[in-house]
Amino acid sequence: MSVEQALIERSGNKCELCGADHDLSVFEVTPSDGSEDQAILVCGTCKSQMEDPSTIDANHWRCLNDSMWSPTPAVQVVSYRMLHVLRAEGWPQDLLDMMYLDDETKAWADAGITDEDDDRIPTKDSNGTILNEGDDVTLIKDLDVKGANFTAKRGTMVKNIHLTDNALHIEGKVNGTQIVLVAAFLKKQ
C-alpha cells in the first residue's frame, strides 16, 4: 500500500487538520523518513498556507482546536508548529498552553521550529540591558504583589528568571511565590 493510500485510509479521506474533503495531498512532516507515520493528508488550503506563511489566514487555523487532540503524532506535530506560528494572534497561545505532547513528539515538533521568527522585541531591564532566560536580577523599587499580600522590597534578588511572550514582563520567584514582574523595575546582576 502506498503512503498516500495509507493516509487516505487513516484520515477517512479528509484533511487531517481542517477536515476538508477536496484537493487532498500528502504532506511530509520534517524531519521525515518518508513513511506514513511521518506524513499527514492535507487539503490545498492548509498545504499552501504552511508552505507560504505570508498567505496565512488565522481564522482558517481555528480547526487546530480539534486536530491538536489527534492520536496521530504527525498531526500533533503540525498542529503544534502552526499554533507556534500563529501564537501572536492570542488564541493559539491558549491552545499551546493546553496541548500535551510526549517527550519524543515534542522534540520532533521543536525540531521543525526555526528561530527566524524570533524577531521579538528583547526584554530589557531598567538600564536597557537585555535580559536572558535564567538571568539573576534585583528589584530597583518596592513592588506591591497583588493577591499575595506582601511587598517585594527594593534590592530583593530574583534568581533564574523566565522570559514571557510580553517583552515588558518576566517571571520569577520572590519570597517563594512565582510572580510576573515588570522588567523596567529590575536591574540585571
pLDDT one-digit tens code per residue, 21-36? 999 999 999 888 888 9
Would you say residue 130 lies in a domain? no
Would you say residue 106 lies in a domain? yes
44, pLDDT greater than 70 = yes
Would you say residue 132 lies in a domain? no
Q: How far is residue 100's CA from residue 116's CA, in Å, rounded to a whole number?
A: 24
Q: How confident is the model at residue 119 (pLDDT cuts 50, 70, 90)?
A: low
Given 64, 87, 117, the domain boundary residue is 117
109, pLDDT greater than 80 = yes
Are residue 108 and residue 26 in the same domain, yes or no? yes
Are residue 112 and residue 141 in the same domain, yes or no? no
* Type of residue numbered 92: P
Burial 172-187 (b: 16+ CB within 10 A, else e): bebeeeebebebebbe
Q: Which residue did the predictor score with more confidence, 123 or 1?
A: 123
What does the mean pLDDT of the chain come to?
89
Would you say residue 128 lies in a domain? no
Residue 114 has a pLDDT of 65
DSSP string computed for 69-134: T-S-HHHHHHHHHHHHHHGGGSHHHHHHHH----HHHHHHHHHT--GGG--PPPPB-TTSPBP-TT
64, pLDDT greater than 90 = yes
Q: Please give the grid coordinates belonging to residue 126.
A: 531598567
Identify the CATH number of the domain in which residue 141 sits: 2.30.30.40
Are residue 11 and residue 98 in the same domain, yes or no? yes
Are residue 102 and residue 148 in the same domain, yes or no? no
Percentage of the chain lying above the pLDDT 70 cut: 96
Q: 168: domain range?
A: 137-188
pTM of the model: 0.61
Q: Which residues contact 50 (CB under 8 A, 6 or more apart)?
A: 27, 42, 78, 82
CA distances (Å), 67 to each of 40, 45, 127, 189, in order? 12, 15, 44, 44
* Type of residue numbered 28: E
69, pLDDT greater than 90 = yes
Given 58, 86, 117, the domain boundary residue is 117
Are residue 21 and residue 58 in the same domain, yes or no? yes
Q: Tell me what the mean pLDDT of segment 80-103 comes to.
A: 90
Q: Tell me what the mean pLDDT of segment 131-148 comes to.
A: 89
116, pLDDT greater than 60 = no
Residue 61 has a pLDDT of 95
Are residue 23 and residue 80 in the same domain, yes or no? yes
Are residue 109 and residue 147 in the same domain, yes or no? no
1, pLDDT greater than 90 = no
Given 87, 117, 147, the domain boundary residue is 117
Are residue 111 and residue 141 in the same domain, yes or no? no
Q: Give me the residues paired with residue 144 across strands.
A: 151
Would you say residue 67 lies in a domain? yes
Q: How many domains does the chain have?
A: 2
